[in-house]
Amino acid sequence: MENSILDKIIQTTDARLIAKLNKDVQTLHHEIEPDLFKPFNESEMSHCFEEMLSLVGVAGYVVFHGDAPAGYMLTSRKTSDETPFKFRTDTLHIDQICVESRFKGLGLGKKLVDHAKAIARDNNIPRVEMNFWSQNANSGEFFSHEGFKVFNERMVFKL
């Protein structure tokens, strides 16, 4: 399906809207790792996003398809000081990104990622980073297609 010229991205502090848009991804994470991820709870999520959005450097964005909110992205700017091990880094981190299932395939996730890249460019931030759960193969394929490269892997040993 072709992208609509009516698609738009707005910056928002509407924690309740972001919580609603989080339902699909939270449900997926709960299905993948039910011992780690809680079932979706809109009230708890709204409160959590409200706290997150109040932090310095954290921003929320909602992508609309026409008039319908279709997905969201949370970003945070992270700066680490130089150490004997590594140089100082300035990064725009995509903390969360999700497009509701009914809007997948419309290019909205790409619009959100492109928006993050533009924010980084406009603010002279040389890196955009993100994490995703390796069991979510669709995310890995999507971010690889958008030019992201794996540079760190994390493993767990359950007792």
pLDDT tens profile 59-73: 999 999 999 999 999
- Stretch among 1-5, 73-77, 124-128 having the lowest mean pLDDT: 1-5
User: Quick one: pLDDT at residue 37?
Assistant: 94
- The reply to whether 65 falls in a domain is yes
pLDDT tens profile 104-145: 999 999 999 999 999 999 999 999 999 888 877 788 889 999
> Residue 40: how many CB atoms within 10 A of its CB?
18
The whole-angstrom separation of Cα 33 and Cα 10 is 32
Residue 3 has pLDDT above 60, yes or no: no
Mean pLDDT estimate for the chain: 93
User: Can you give the CATH number for the domain in which 126 is found?
Assistant: 3.40.630.30
- The reply to whether 159 falls in a domain is no
- The reply to whether 153 falls in a domain is no
Given a contact cutoff of 8 angstroms between Cβ atoms, the answer to whether 103 and 65 are in contact is yes
Strands 68-80 and 127-130: unpaired
- The reply to whether 154 falls in a domain is no
The whole-angstrom separation of Cα 124 and Cα 54 is 23
User: Quick one: pLDDT at residue 4?
Assistant: 60
- The reply to whether 1 falls in a domain is no
Residue 1 has pLDDT above 60, yes or no: no
Q: What is the pTM of this model?
A: 0.90
The percentage of the chain sitting over the pLDDT mark of 70, rounded to a whole number, equals: 97
Question: Looking at the 3D structure of the chain, how many domains does it have?
Answer: 1
- The reply to whether 151 falls in a domain is no
- The reply to whether 157 falls in a domain is no
Q: Which domain range does residue 140 map to?
A: 8-145
- The reply to whether 77 falls in a domain is yes
pLDDT tens profile 85-103: 999 999 999 999 999 999 9
